[in-house]
Amino acid sequence: MTVLCLVERDGDGAADVSLRALTFARSLAESGAGGAAAVVFGPGAPAELSAYGVADAYAVEAEGYAPQAWGHALAGLAAELNATAVVAAGTDRGSEVLAHLAAITGLPMAANCVSAAMTAPGAFQLVRHRWAGSLLEDSVLDASPALLTVAVDAVAAVPASAPAETTVHAYQPALDEADLRVSATESAERSAGVSLATARVVVGGGRGVGGPDGFGPLEELAGLLGGTVGVSRVVTSEGWRPHKQQVGQTGTRISPELYLACGISGAIQHMAGCMSAKNIVAVNTDPDAPIISRADYAVIGDLNEVIPALIAAIRDRS
């Protein structure tokens, strides 16, 4: 009886999203699904596993990222350990590997879960995201093991009440040639500048910016605040700004200390991307815009007037 959790690495440690997935796995385990164990790819285990109460970690022999091979390895381990559930963070990798596992085993897979409890052997009660978290779905899952990805925006990483001593077991998966026909080569290129996903301040621009030439003041303000510019979907689909600046369900999820959303109406597609922002300040001419009912603070006014005045005030201070 084991809840297996795929733990992605970030340098020498565990990725933050995987610590959230481990917290989710531990809570599922406590509902009667057994103990939570970690699966990592490559030798050794990240030190954080101990604080998250992981007694057993399985280090799968692997060279780089090969999604189908990873899925196959998880299938082998889940069978060997008689796992009640296999859990992964709902990242591009976690979702992809679990989808391979689901396809290999023919089992159902529930994506973007917020919570899960085992109600009887092979029966689970779930809450999961729809519309990237704008809706919740209560559902039941009959499967053994249950294959679940975690909506990492909605689950905090919480260490276990008592740490565990982690034993690392080396695991050699039985792979076919076909499992390795798709594998990632990492490009040497690294993105420069402040990353939208991890920026502490994001200055957002939407339709209210008016056109591709209106982003100068937003860039300037973002620079002054040590942040970066994000935009709504209409801005990228009009071709005003590149898609990599899009905040939203089909763009980047952000979690800054401050999101200053200028001329953005607040469609749910956009709000799904900024729901993790600690503080949302909206600048909008329309006091009835949907974003006003989702923001913490608002300035009712034209961003083309407010933002230059704000820049001037900040420059005056220094």
Partner 1 sequence: MEILVCVKRVPQVGGKIVVTADEQDVDTRMSGFTVSPHEECAVEEAVRLVEQHGGSVTVLTLGPAEAADQLRDMLALGANRAELLETDGREWGPIATAEAIVAAARAGGPYDLLLFGNEAADTGDYQVGVRVAHALGLPCVTGIKNLEVSDSGARARREYRGVEEIYDIALPAVVSVKEGINLPRYPSLPGRLRAKRATIEQTAPEWHAEGLRKERLRVPAGEVKRAEILGTGADAVPALVALLDDLGVL
Q: Do the Cβ atoms of 271 and 293 come closer than 8 Å?
A: no
Minimum CB distance to partner 1 smaller for 56 or for 78? 78
Rounded Cα distance between 196 and 226, Å, is 12
Compute the least distance from the CB of residue 298 to partner 1, in Å.
4
Minimum CB distance to partner 1 smaller for 5 or for 199? 199
Which 181-240 positions form the footprint of partner 1 (CB under 8 A)?
A: 181-187, 189-191, 195, 200-201, 225-227, 233, 236-237, 239
Which 34-93 positions form the footprint of partner 1 (CB under 8 A)?
A: 65, 67-68, 90-93
- Is residue 103 a contact point for partner 1 (CB under 8 A)? yes
Minimum CB distance to partner 1 smaller for 254 or for 289? 289
Minimum CB distance to partner 1 smaller for 46 or for 227? 227
Q: 248 phi and psi, to 5 degrees? A: 155, -175
Taking alpha carbons only, the member of 241, 228, 188, 232 closest to residue 207 is 232
Site string for partner 1, 258-297 (x = CB under 8 A): x------xxxxx---------xxxx----x-xx-xxxxxx
| Helix pair 303-317, 216-224: axis angle to 10 deg | 30
- Look up residue 260 and give its amino acid: L
Rounded Cα distance between 231 and 104, Å, is 39
Minimum CB distance to partner 1 smaller for 155 or for 201? 201
Residues in binding contact with partner 1, number by CB under 8 A: 101
Q: Do the Cβ atoms of 209 and 303 come closer than 8 Å?
A: yes
Distances (CA, A) of 124 to 114, 169, 218, 267: 13, 28, 47, 33
Which 157-176 positions form the footprint of partner 1 (CB under 8 A)?
A: none
- Is residue 11 a contact point for partner 1 (CB under 8 A)? no
